[in-house]
Amino acid sequence: MKSLSILIAAMLVCTTAMAQQALWGGQDIKSPEINANNTVTFRLQAPQATKVEITGDFLPTQKMETPMGEFDVPGTAELTKNAQDVWEFTTPAPLAPELYSYSLIVDGVNVTDPNNVYMIRDVASVTSVFIIGGGRADLYKVNDVPHGTVARRWYDSPTLQKSRRITIYTPPGYEAGTAKYPVFYLLHGAGGDEEAWIALGRASQILDNLIAQGKAKPMIVVMTNGNAGQKSAPGESERGMYKPSLWEETRMDGEFETAFPDVMKFVESNYRTLETKASRAIAGLSMGGFHSLHISKEYPDKFDYVGLFSAAIMPMQEGVTSKIYENFDQKLKAQFAQKPKLYWIAIGNTDFLIQANNDFRKMLDDNKYPFTYYETGEGHIWKNWRIYLTEFVPMLFK
């Protein structure tokens, strides 16, 4: 018995030591540090490094050539090593309120900040993040307000012949009540999945805060996986922990739009929903805007509110023959004949898709189809899509 007690005591010591190593084994450095004037200081202890840089969306942009054209991407700045072998960089000017992402570059290798546990995955890139509060950015924070529930559910899609995962936000008080709610279908862009709007878009925080402020009606928000070839986000299916890519299994070939009634059937069978055109909205960013455009015209009696955020309005890919994309003009005419309450188009003024959006707006004008246009600065970035969500949601279900 004494030997057993000693063994147990030794195991507890080892376990405690391992736990302490996990808790205290990191660098005892504060990074990022948001200073009183909203400048931000970044730090990294890397005594063997010869060069440390930072790249992030708070830095001046630079041009980068890609197969899809020229894009603005975040620039870089160098950190300086002090006498304690700690590399430091402080932004030269205060940062405006916003959710920011960044990475460190240590001797040419991109890494997350080891002193910042808050990270977000976007396709195959993982970046560290922080928030400068104030103004619109306060909508992106977890505030002391009633909170909704975010659930990951699996639904059956007979059209695609597979079970698929979906993310659903229900508003504060849903579980304890009996009321029925309108439904907002919120779609992601290329390379994204059913996690994108929750992680990168701060959708649940935005909904919680707008509802608490009385600026938005309580609603159910359904965030799908728009890649018809996927069952779920990377790492969340039997396919395992593979490295995602921008265009892997991402299709604009009509399959997702054709299968969309499967999503609606699941939601309306499993949640307390208002099943009328006036109680449904659909919106999406980039590829999700493309999907929203075609889903809303394909099922013109289903959605009174349509949002195109930096929508990928473009010709069909070579070889795509889906009936979804046939008779576009006639279907759009039928949709507007039913007088949707809101057809909302938003894009940044340097977005690579702005000319296509301008051409589409001209076509709507020429046909006297009413729409609302909202333009921001900058390009094809999550900063803009969060803004669009905060603007679009308060207009729904009025």
- Which tens digits make up the pLDDT trace of 1-52? 445 454 444 444 444 444 444 444 556 799 999 999 999 999 999 999 999 9
pLDDT at 241: 86
| Gap between the Cα atoms of 45 and 27, Å rounded | 7
Q: Report residue 249 as tokens.
A: 């299994």
Mean per-residue pLDDT of the chain? 91
Least confident of 8-22, 246-260, 356-370: 8-22
The answer for residues whose C-beta is within 8 angstroms of residue 234's C-beta and 6 or more apart is: 193, 241, 242, 243, 244
pLDDT tens, residue by residue, 297-307:
999 999 999 99
Q: Which two tokens stand for residue 70?
A: 């020229």
Give the pLDDT score at 12: 44
Query: Cα torsion at 62, 98, 133, 60 (round to 10°)?
Result: 10
> What DSSP designation does 368 have?
T
314 pLDDT above the threshold of 90: no
Tell me the pLDDT band of 70, cut-offs 50, 70 and 90: low
Residue 392 CB neighbours (<10 A) = 23
Q: Do the Cβ atoms of 308 and 293 come closer than 8 Å?
A: yes
Residue 239, pLDDT score = 84
pLDDT (tens digit, 9 = 90+) per residue, 177-196?
999 999 999 999 998 999 99
Q: What are 306's two structure tokens?
A: 């349509």
Query: Domains along the chain?
Result: 29-133 (2.60.40.10), 140-395 (3.40.50.1820)
Residue 383 has pLDDT above 90, yes or no: yes
**Distance, CA of 394 to CA of 2 (rounded, Å):** 68
* Token pair for 216: 């938005």
Print the SS3 string covering 52-114: EEEEECCCCEEEEEECCEEEEEECEEECEECCCCEEEEECCCCCCCEEEEEEEEECCEEECCC
Amino acid type, 186: L
Positive/negative CA dihedral, 390, 391, 394, 397: negative
Give 187-226 pLDDT, tens digit per residue: 999 989 999 999 999 999 999 999 999 999 999 999 999 9
Q: What is the pLDDT of residues 256-266, one digit of tens each?
A: 999 999 999 99
pLDDT exceeds cutoff 90 at 249: no
pTM recorded for the entire structure: 0.90
Percent of the chain with pLDDT over 70: 89
CB-based contacts of 123: which residues, under 8 Å, 6+ apart? 191, 192, 244, 245, 246
Q: What is the mean pLDDT of residues 370-395?
A: 97
